[in-house]
Amino acid sequence: MKGAVLYGPRDVRFEERESPKIVEPADAVIRISLTCVCGSDLWPYRGISPVAEPTPMGHEYCGIVEEVGKAVKSVRPGQFVIGSFATSDNTCPNCQYGYQSSCMHREFMTRAQAPMLRVPLADGTLVATPEVPPADLIPSLLTLSDVLGTGWFAAVAADVQPGKTVVVVGDGAVGLLGVLAARQLGAERVIAMSRHPARQQLAREFGATDIVTERGADGVARIKELTKGVGADAVLECVGTQESMMQAIQATRPGGSVGYVGVPHGVELNGEDLFYTHVRLHGGPAPVRRFLLELIELVWSGKINPGKVFDLTLPLDQVAEGYRAMDERRAIKVLLRP
């Protein structure tokens, strides 16, 4: 089997890897239908998060169950399944509270940019669709594994409610699907912050009502202008830099909430400044598993089409070009076909 391996900055190779097999009784092995490149894959790709050794890549996946271990009860060979980028038993206290990405037995998935994948804790991690989906639904179902699940969590963490005004910081795939999530959760006004025409267009298709092109202090001033000087009820932070985090906090009204899902890189907050903002912060790695059943239903019934976020499809053996296209912002999100 061949899959993607990151050797160092801007060095992704498609090379021979060991075929996965059942190791633990709770494992499943799935045949990947589609996988993709994540914005968070770009942190190690750019050398911002160094890799110590050649690292198999990929954590977004869906596909057909090939084989299950002896302890697996909820999924069986032949089913089409989607799983979170973080495994969970779905039974420990953290899982019961809905924070499956903090499961006491969590592992972060990697190795999904490959034709086959071993999924630990299959019963608590994987959810099967009602039947094997038609091909045109699979890109949308794949987004539930991370990118839509993460945008959805950003909206839930920011306490998006019907009638509210929402700002989305970040026009990557997560931010764009955060726009979709905010609208689905009933937001009346969704302001997307983006300077890129193609991304602005997609944000509008996903339900953005306003676009703000300014950034930093100018961006915050523009949000204040649009909200009678008050700020937004809910802000989704979908980048993870100091600038984006400050932009999110400062665009929020006193008493409002920031849902932050961009993996922070060098973000530092000043306690005293934060104290006087009166803003709630909630975020972290999205507990995608919490939302899987609900989101499968929304895709299955045709109510949402998050798969539109993929604007480039490549065969898996061209995975290196997929990383380049996202790194150079030629593509919003790259779909990989094994």
Site for Zn ion in 272-291 (CB under 5 A): none
Nearest to 71 by CA among 18, 124, 127: 124
Give 203 or 292: the residue with its C-beta nearer to Zn ion.
292
Q: In the complex, what is the shortest distance from the CB of residue 151 to Zn ion, in angstroms, rounded to a whole number?
A: 23
Q: In the complex, what is the shortest distance from the CB of residue 105 to Zn ion, in angstroms, rounded to a whole number?
A: 6
Q: In the complex, what is the shortest distance from the CB of residue 97 to Zn ion, in angstroms, rounded to a whole number?
A: 9
Give 119 or 160: the residue with its C-beta nearer to Zn ion.
119
CB neighbours of residue 18 within 10 Å? 9
Site for Zn ion in 172-211 (CB under 5 A): none
Q: In the complex, what is the shortest distance from the CB of residue 126 to Zn ion, in angstroms, rounded to a whole number?
A: 14
Q: In the complex, what is the shortest distance from the CB of residue 124 to Zn ion, in angstroms, rounded to a whole number?
A: 7
Q: In the complex, what is the shortest distance from the CB of residue 100 to Zn ion, in angstroms, rounded to a whole number?
A: 6
Q: In the complex, what is the shortest distance from the CB of residue 87 to Zn ion, in angstroms, rounded to a whole number?
A: 9
Distance from C-alpha of 31 to C-alpha of 283, rounded to nearest angstrom? 32
Tokens (6 digits) for 45: 């790709």
Give 103 or 281: the residue with its C-beta nearer to Zn ion.
103
Give 107 or 297: the residue with its C-beta nearer to Zn ion.
107
Distance from C-alpha of 23 to C-alpha of 119, rounded to nearest angstrom? 10
Give 89 or 123: the residue with its C-beta nearer to Zn ion.
89
The mark string for 133-162 relative to Zn ion (x by CB under 5 A, - otherwise) is ------------------------------
Distance from C-alpha of 322 to C-alpha of 39, rounded to nearest angstrom? 11
Distance from C-alpha of 193 to C-alpha of 122, rounded to nearest angstrom? 38
Distance from C-alpha of 300 to C-alpha of 313, rounded to nearest angstrom? 22
Count, residues near Zn ion per rule CB under 5 A = 5
Contact 261, 286 (CB under 8 A): yes
Distance from C-alpha of 71 to C-alpha of 78, rounded to nearest angstrom? 17
Nearest to 88 by CA among 42, 61, 60, 120: 120
Q: Which run of H or E residues covers position 297?
A: helix 288-300
Give 103 or 190: the residue with its C-beta nearer to Zn ion.
103
Q: In the complex, what is the shortest distance from the CB of residue 32 to Zn ion, in angstroms, rounded to a whole number?
A: 24
Give 103 or 127: the residue with its C-beta nearer to Zn ion.
103
Cβ neighbors of 314 (< 8 A, separation 6 or more) are 321, 322, 334, 335, 336, 337
Site for Zn ion in 75-134 (CB under 5 A): 88-89, 92, 95, 103
Give 94 or 252: the residue with its C-beta nearer to Zn ion.
94
Contact 247, 262 (CB under 8 A): no
Contact 41, 323 (CB under 8 A): yes
Give 19 or 96: the residue with its C-beta nearer to Zn ion.
96
Distance from C-alpha of 222 to C-alpha of 215, rounded to nearest angstrom? 9
Nearest to 283 by CA among 178, 154, 146: 154
Give the chain's largest Cα–Cα span. 60
Q: In the complex, what is the shortest distance from the CB of residue 137 to Zn ion, in angstroms, rounded to a whole number?
A: 29
Distance from C-alpha of 207 to C-alpha of 236, rounded to nearest angstrom? 15
Contact residues for Zn ion (CB under 5 A)?
Answer: 88-89, 92, 95, 103
